[in-house]
């Protein structure tokens, strides 16, 4: 009998040890002392960890609550950090019902001095948008990683991974900075452990991990550091609306309401006007914000407070960890609008000078302007978002230059498009772009017309707002004129060993490619020191006879930008501009260096744009 009792006690002891709480993961993996928000929510993962009791003793750190969700393997722990808390490590002590105790170390790191006061991107910058997988393959060894599906297949233009990575971007930083860019916006670099079509990055499966086929978290930090050394900031593409179907959450949802639509695939109708439309059916509004993009991109329920906090902390973690210069928020209006205001407010509370640009993919300025901070919306919604992608003016620019001149088309449409700035509280904070990873390439839209391409680039780089260009535009990369993501995201020439054409070195480029590349380089490097373009006022004149002129000016400097869409030289009567040309008798073209007399008229070269510094 004694032996049986001894055996039972031994088995109980073994069982108790086996049931000891084990922390397999914590989100966020570490944090920083000195953040403005003293609250920190930790999300602990481990077998049956929800049944554990958490305790800790650390100077300046107080455990103020814990909460289990619906998964037995997730435990939420809330901490209060004292204002003067020091950096360092402390133990989170977990005990189960049998009294078995385990300890898990957690770290508060020291913030970089001045981290919270960092400046974000502004009209002083030019942003480069690139797709990492299609930009440059700097490390072929990480093209395929064990355990990750969707192997590299460069022959598959539409959906295959091509092997581009962080190392490839680093290798091109001198080229990027030399062109005159000051900000870098890669599409998402985080893990997309999806069975196929994972290259684009928008089906994230781990919010705290760079996809190993791009590199590591440390590689991302090194990219940001190397970029700063060259005068480039890094903008991270954040996805708040959805995740990938391969996300570890899907196998074990932290709470039953972690996803919208009760975790069922209900497609969105993309009725983006429904958010602010006074006549929209509430069901359409709900479907837009809570419907799923596709079955492989489950929609997140930002009304779930634990998830909302997770998303806010995740964004702040990346800003602090990677020393980011800004955030681009994907599919902005599809998320819950009250959460969006809360998220933006929380991020800007930590980084008041940071800039955040949201993607509201609509050509309707009423829809886009609804989201910019300072807008007095009739429904009372108060947005906190500083910047928006200027889709309305983007579309107008492309139509205006591609179409024939008429009383309501061509340059006249471009002229009239600027009236929409009355809808934006901060038109200088609109991001104006010639192209991005989702739209057909500029050169192709213009039927491969070099002159129109240069006009569009000059417009974007001298107009009010923050300019953004797409990788390869400077070497006239092409695509179908209709949307074709794979073709629009073709490999950057010279990014792969053995490429016959190399944009970085100039090898194999045509005369037209070299011409536009030089045009972009000259104009963007001039723009770096052209404060009048960054912050100057804008005055424009109604188009006439296929020409259009606008002026950027401040107290000490004036620039005249004038377009001639005609196929012949055109005389422009400059006396019409007397109110802004007062005292200016000539102007030097930024591109060619040629001086033009502006006393009474100027002869414009055919199919041209001039950027004239006035004297």
Catalytic residues: 330, 359
Give, as one character, the DSSP assignment of residue 267: B
Cβ neighbours of residue 577 closer than 8 Å, sequence gap 6 or more: 541, 549, 551, 560
Bond prior to 28 in cis (omega within 30° of 0) = yes
Give, as one character, the DSSP assignment of residue 141: G
Type and span of the H or E element at 350: helix 337-350
Give, as one character, the DSSP assignment of residue 275: G
Closest by CA to 60, choosing from 81, 90, 36, is 81
Q: How far apart are the first and last CA of the chain?
A: 107
In angstroms, the CA 34 to CA 187 distance is 30
Residue 26 near residue 317 (C-beta atoms within 8 A): no
Closest by CA to 435, choosing from 380, 492, 479, 405, is 479
Q: Where are the alpha helices (DSSP H) in 135-191?
A: 166-171, 173-179
Q: Which residues on adjacent β-strands are paired with residue 55?
A: 93
In angstroms, the CA 133 to CA 179 distance is 21
Q: Which residues of 350-389 are buried (b: 16+ CB within 10 A; e: fewer)?
A: bbeebbbbbbbbbebbebbbbbbbebeeeeebebbbbbbb
Give, as one character, the DSSP assignment of residue 509: -
In angstroms, the CA 319 to CA 31 distance is 12
Q: Which residues on adjacent β-strands are paired with residue 103?
A: 93
- Give a three-class secondary structure readout of 40-108: EEEEEECCCHHHCEEECCECCEEEEEEEECCCCCEEEEEEEECCCCCCEEEEEEEECCCCCEEEEEEEE
Q: Which residues of 268-286 are buried (b: 16+ CB within 10 A; e: fewer)?
A: beebbbbbbbeeeeeebbe
Q: Where are the alpha helices (DSSP H) in 431-546?
A: 442-445, 450-462, 485-488, 511-528, 531-535
In angstroms, the CA 363 to CA 490 distance is 25
- Give a three-class secondary structure readout of 352-405: CCCEEEECCCCCCHHHHHCCECCCCCCCCCCCCECEEECHHHHHHHHHHHHCCC
Q: Where are the alpha helices (DSSP H) in 102-260?
A: 166-171, 173-179, 217-228
In angstroms, the CA 360 to CA 333 distance is 6
Residue 491 near residue 162 (C-beta atoms within 8 A): yes
């Amino acid at each position: 009998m004694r032996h049986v009792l001894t055996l039972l006690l031994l088995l109980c002891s073994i069982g108790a040890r086996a049931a000891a709480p084990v922390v397999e993961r914590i989100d966020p993996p570490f944090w920083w002392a000195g953040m403005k928000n003293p609250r920190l929510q930790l999300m602990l993962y481990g077998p049956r960890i929800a049944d554990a009791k958490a305790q800790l003793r650390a100077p300046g750190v107080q455990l103020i609550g814990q909460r289990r969700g619906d998964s037995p393997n997730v435990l939420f722990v809330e901490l209060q950090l004292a204002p003067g808390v020091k950096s360092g490590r402390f133990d989170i002590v977990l005990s189960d019902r049998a009294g078995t105790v385990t300890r898990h170390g957690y770290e508060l790191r020291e913030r970089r001095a001045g981290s919270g006061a960092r400046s974000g991107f502004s009209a002083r910058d030019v942003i480069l948008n690139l797709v990492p997988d299609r930009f440059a393959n700097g490390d072929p060894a990480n093209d395929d990683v064990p355990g990750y599906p969707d192997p590299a297949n460069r022959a598959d233009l539409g959906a295959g991974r091509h092997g581009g990575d962080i190392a490839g971007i680093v290798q091109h930083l001198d080229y990027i900075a030399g062109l005159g860019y000051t900000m870098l916006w890669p599409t998402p670099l985080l893990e997309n452990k999806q069975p196929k079509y994972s290259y684009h990055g928008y089906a994230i499966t781990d919010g705290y991990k760079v996809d190993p086929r791009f590199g590591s978290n440390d590689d991302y930090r090194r990219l940001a550091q190397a970029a700063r050394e060259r005068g480039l900031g890094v903008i991270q593409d954040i996805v708040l609306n959805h995740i990938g179907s391969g996300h570890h959450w899907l196998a074990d949802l932290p709470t039953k309401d972690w996803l919208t639509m009760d975790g069922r695939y209900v497609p969105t109708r993309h009725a983006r006007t429904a958010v602010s439309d006074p006549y929209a059916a509430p069901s359409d509004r709900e479907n837009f914000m809570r419907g799923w993009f596709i079955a492989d991109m489950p929609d997140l329920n930002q009304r779930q407070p634990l998830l909302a906090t997770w998303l806010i902390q995740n964004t702040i973690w990346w800003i602090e960890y990677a020393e980011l210069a800004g955030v681009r928020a994907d599919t902005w209006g599809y998320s819950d609008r009250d959460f969006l205001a809360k998220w933006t407010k929380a991020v800007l509370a930590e980084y008041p000078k940071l800039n955040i640009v949201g993607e509201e993919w609509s050509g309707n300025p009423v829809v886009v302007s609804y989201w910019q901070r300072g807008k007095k919306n009739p429904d009372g919604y108060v947005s906190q978002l500083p910047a928006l992608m200027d889709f309305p003016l983007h579309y107008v620019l492309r139509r205006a230059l591609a179409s024939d001149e008429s009383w309501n088309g061509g340059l006249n449409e471009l002229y009239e498009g600027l009236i929409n700035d009355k809808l934006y509280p901060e038109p200088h904070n609109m991001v104006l772009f010639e192209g991005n990873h989702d739209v057909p390439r500029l050169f192709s839209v213009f039927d491969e017309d070099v002159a129109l391409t240069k006009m569009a680039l000059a417009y974007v780089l001298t107009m009010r707002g923050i300019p953004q260009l797409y990788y390869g535009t400077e070497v006239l990369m092409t695509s179908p004129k209709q949307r074709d993501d794979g073709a629009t995201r073709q490999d950057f020439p010279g990014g792969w060993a053995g490429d016959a054409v190399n944009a970085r070195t100039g090898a194999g480029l045509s005369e037209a490619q070299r011409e536009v590349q030089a045009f972009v380089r000259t104009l963007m490097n001039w723009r770096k020191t052209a404060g009048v373009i960054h912050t100057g006022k804008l005055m424009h004149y109604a188009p006439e006879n296929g020409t259009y002129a606008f002026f950027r000016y401040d107290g000490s400097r004036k620039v005249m930008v004038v377009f001639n869409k005609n196929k012949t030289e055109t005389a422009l009567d400059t006396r019409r501009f007397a109110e802004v040309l007062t005292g200016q008798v000539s102007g030097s073209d930024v591109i060619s260096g040629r001086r033009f007399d502006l006393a009474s008229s100027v002869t414009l070269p055919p199919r041209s744009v001039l950027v004239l510094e006035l004297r």
